[in-house]
Structure 1
Amino acid sequence: MKKIYITRKIDDQVIDQLKERFDVQVWNKEDTAVPKDELLHQVKDSHALLTMLSDKIDQEIFDAAPHLEVVANLAVGYDNIDLDAAKKAGVIVTNTPDVLTDTTADLTFSLIMAVGRRITEAAEYVKQGKWTSWSPYLLAGTDIHHKTIGIIGMGSIGQAVAQRAKGFNMDVLYHTRSRKSEAEQRFNAKHVSLEELLKESDYVVMLAPFTEETKQMMGKKEFALMKKSAFFVNAGRGTTVDEQALIEALQTGEIAGAALDVFEKEPISADHPLLSMKNVVAIPHIGSASRETRLTMMKLASDNIAAVLQGKKALTEVK
Structure 2
Amino acid sequence: MGGERVKIVVWDSIGNTLLGVRPWESWESAVRETLLRENPAAEEVALPLRMLLAGHDIDLTWFNSADAPYAPFGPLYADYAGSLHFTRSIEEIVAAIAEADFLVMHKERLPASAVERARNLRLIQHLGQDCRGVPVETARERGIPVAATPLVNYLTVAEQVWAYMLNWAKRLPAQRVHMTSRGYVDSWHGFPGTRYLGDLKLGLLGMGEIARPIAKVAQAFGMRTRYWDIERFPDLEEAFGMTFMTWDELIASSDVVSMHLALNAQTEGIFGAREIGLLKPSALFINTARGKLVDQTALSEALAAHRIGAVALDVFAAEPLPVDDPLLRLHDVADERVTLTPHNAWQGPWTWVRDSQELWLNVRRALRGEAIQHLV
Task: Please give the TM-score of this superposition, normalised by the length of structure 2.
Answer: 0.57
- Measure, in 2, the Cα distance between the counterparts of 1:155 and 1:233: 16
Read off the aligned partner of 2:282 and give its amino acid letter.
Answer: S
C-alpha displacement of 1:255 = 0.8
Whether 2:339 is the aligned partner of 1:281: answer yes
Whether 2:273 is the aligned partner of 1:220: answer yes
Correspondences of 1:182-221 after superposition (within 5 Å): 182-221=235-274
Matching residue of 1:268: 321
Please state whether the residue corresponding to 2:271 is helix, strand or coil. Answer: coil
Whether 2:151 is the aligned partner of 1:99: answer yes
User: Between Structure 1 and Structure 2, which shows a larger proportion of helix residues?
Assistant: 2
What 5-or-longer segments of structure 1 have no aligned partner?
Answer: 23-38, 50-66, 72-81, 307-314
Which of 134, 140, 145 in structure 1 is aligned with 2:198? 145
Matching residue of 2:220: 167
Read off the aligned partner of 1:286 and give its amino acid letter.
Answer: N
C-alpha displacement of 1:265 = 2.2
Moved over 6 A (4+): 42-46, 301-306
- Measure, in 2, the Cα distance between the counterparts of 1:132 and 1:185: 46
Please state whether the residue corresponding to 2:157 is helix, strand or coil. Answer: helix
Aligned partners of 2:313 and 2:341 also within 8 Å? yes
Q: String of CA shifts for 1:103-132, please: whole Å, max 9, x gaps.
A: 332221111111232224444665xx4233
1:20–1:156 CA distance, 2 compared to 1 (3 A)? closer
Matching residue of 2:61: none
C-alpha displacement of 1:12 = 2.2
1:208–1:252 CA distance, 2 compared to 1 (3 A)? same
Q: String of CA shifts for 1:123-147, please: whole Å, max 9, x gaps.
A: 4665xx4233343785633332221
- Measure, in 1, the Cα distance between the counterparts of 2:83 and 2:349: 29
- Measure, in 1, the Cα distance between the counterparts of 2:78 and 2:310: 43
Read off the aligned partner of 2:229 and give its amino acid letter.
Answer: T
Matching residue of 1:52: none
- Measure, in 2, the Cα distance between the counterparts of 1:237 and 1:175: 17
Correspondences of 1:101-120 after superposition (within 5 Å): 101-120=154-173
Correspondences of 1:13-162 after superposition (within 5 Å): 13-15=44-46, 17=48, 47=77, 69=83, 84=88, 96-97=127-128, 98-100=150-152, 101-123=154-176, 126=179, 129-133=180-184, 134-135=186-187, 138=191, 140-162=193-215
Task: Please give the TM-score of this superposition, normalised by the length of structure 1.
Answer: 0.67
1:146–1:83 CA distance, 2 compared to 1 (3 A)? farther
Q: String of CA shifts for 1:63-89, please: whole Å, max 9, x gaps.
A: xxxx77469xxxxxxxxxx8759x99x
1:17–1:225 CA distance, 2 compared to 1 (3 A)? closer
Over aligned residues, Cα RMSD in angstroms? Answer: 4.1
Read off the aligned partner of 2:354 and give its amino acid letter.
Answer: T
Percentage identity across paired residues of the two chains: 25
- Measure, in 2, the Cα distance between the counterparts of 1:223 and 1:17: 45
Read off the aligned partner of 2:307 and give its amino acid letter.
Answer: E
Please state whether the residue corresponding to 1:174 is helix, strand or coil. Answer: strand
1:6–1:258 CA distance, 2 compared to 1 (3 A)? same
Aligned partners of 2:284 and 2:308 also within 8 Å? yes
1:119–1:94 CA distance, 2 compared to 1 (3 A)? farther
Which of 27, 33, 40 in structure 2 is aligned with 1:6? 27
1:19–1:187 CA distance, 2 compared to 1 (3 A)? closer
Aligned partners of 2:312 and 2:340 also within 8 Å? yes
C-alpha displacement of 1:222 = 0.2
Matching residue of 1:53: none
What 5-or-longer segments of structure 2 have no aligned partner?
Answer: 2-21, 36-41, 54-69, 97-102, 107-126, 129-149, 365-371
Aligned partners of 1:151 and 1:174 also within 8 Å? yes
Please state whether the residue corresponding to 1:222 is helix, strand or coil. Answer: helix
Whichever of the two has the greater Rg, that structure is 2
- Measure, in 1, the Cα distance between the counterparts of 2:182 and 2:349: 34
